[in-house]
């Protein structure tokens, strides 16, 4: 009802104000070309609208182009940030290929913030993910699940599972980031959406980690 919605909006305002944050996109820059840049900017624009952050497409494009022009060769991880006033900034870090398969671990408890706006939108506020970051040597990332026992994502990517002979990835309704790599895999027909619960895991025949930066990585759990 109206009273509940008002309380929810007030709580969201207080939560946002309690710790300033930037909107975040992480892109691959390969031989001077930004991978899936249109998808990333569309997602960033949606996040800006959600958080009422000014959006200047020209300034964002100019910022990224300047960075790309300065890194015409090699493979780079680009970190694009959009501040509260709408000012973009970008930086690049050398990216090494990832040996496959990567090793995943299952979270020891649920991500209680799975349905938070800071999961649905990518920002620099990531303490809820950092709490599940792998601590064991050789573990690439942690597979997260929500309070209902549904698999959601990992701390810095999406997850695909081979179940009953088809590759599936959890739907957004389970509480996860709408990753660009995930969107590309869905668009290409490489995966379809399906709810996967903890009790289904013994039936999973294969794992993959997906994000725009590293692509589709074969993975194993445990």
Is the pLDDT at 30 greater than 70, yes or no?
Answer: yes
Q: What is the pLDDT of residue 19?
A: 76
For residue 9, name the pLDDT band (cuts at 50, 70, 90): low
* DSSP strands (E only) in the chain: 23-30, 33-34, 75-82, 88-94, 102-106, 141-145, 151-154, 158-163, 166-169, 192-193, 204-211, 215-221
Q: Are 56 and 46 in contact (CB under 8 A)?
A: no
Is the distance from CB of 48 to CB of 54 less than 8 angstroms? yes
Over range 61-65, report the average pLDDT. Answer: 98
Q: Is the pLDDT of residue 2 over 90?
A: no
What are the residue ranges spanned by the domains of the chain?
A: 2-94, 102-221
- Report whether pLDDT(83) > 90: yes
> At 94, is the pLDDT very low, low, confident or very high (cuts 50, 70, 90)?
very high
pLDDT at 153: 99
What's the pLDDT at 12? Answer: 59
pLDDT of 212 over the 90 cut: yes
Query: What 3-state DSSP class applies to 161?
Result: strand
**Which distant-in-sequence residues (6+ apart) come within 8 Å of 18 by Cβ?**
none
pTM of full prediction above 0.75: yes
For residues 145 and 12, the model is more confident at 145
4: pLDDT strictly greater than 60 = no
Question: Which pLDDT band holds residue 5 (cuts at 50, 70, 90)?
Answer: low
CATH superfamily of 102-221: D-amino Acid Aminotransferase, subunit A, domain 2 (3.20.10.10)
Is residue 113 predicted with pLDDT exceeding 80?
yes
Confidence label for 15 from pLDDT (cuts 50, 70 and 90): low
**How would CATH label the architecture of 2-94?**
2-Layer Sandwich (3.30)
Which pair of structure tokens corresponds to residue 171? 């739907």
Per the prediction, the chain carries an average pLDDT of 95
Span 20-40, average pLDDT: 98
Instruction: Say whether pLDDT at 17 is over 70.
Output: no
What DSSP string runs through 66-111? HHHHT--SSEEEEEEEE-TTS-EEEEEEE-PPPPSSEEEEE-SS--
Sign of torsion over alpha carbons 181, 77, 101, 133: negative
Average pLDDT for residues 151-165, to the nearest whole number? 98
Q: Assess whether the region 2-94 and the region 102-221 belong to the same CATH fold.
A: no
**191 pLDDT more than 70:** yes
């Amino acid at each position: 009802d109206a009273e509940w919605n008002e309380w929810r909006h007030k709580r969201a305002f207080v939560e946002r104000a309690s710790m300033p944050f930037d909107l975040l996109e992480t892109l691959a820059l390969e031989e001077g070309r930004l991978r899936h840049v249109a998808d990333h900017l569309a997602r960033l624009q949606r996040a800006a609208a959600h958080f009422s952050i000014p959006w200047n497409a020209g300034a964002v494009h100019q910022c990224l182009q300047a960075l790309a022009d300065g890194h015409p060769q090699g493979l780079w991880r680009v970190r694009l940030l959009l501040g509260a006033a709408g000012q973009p900034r970008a930086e690049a870090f050398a990216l090494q290929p990832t040996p496959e398969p990567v090793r995943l671990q299952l979270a020891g408890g649920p991500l209680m913030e799975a349905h938070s706006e800071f999961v649905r939108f990518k920002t620099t506020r990531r303490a809820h993910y950092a709490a599940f970051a792998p601590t064991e040597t050789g573990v690439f990332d942690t597979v997260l699940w929500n309070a209902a026992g549904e698999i959601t994502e990992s701390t810095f990517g999406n997850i695909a599972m081979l179940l009953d002979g088809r590759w599936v990835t959890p739907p957004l309704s389970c509480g996860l980031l709408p990753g660009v790599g995930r969107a590309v895999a869905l668009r290409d027909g490489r995966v379809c959406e399906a709810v996967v619960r903890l009790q289904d895991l013994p039936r999973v025949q294969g794992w993959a980690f997906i994000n725009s930066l590293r692509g589709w990585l074969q993975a194993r759990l445990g």
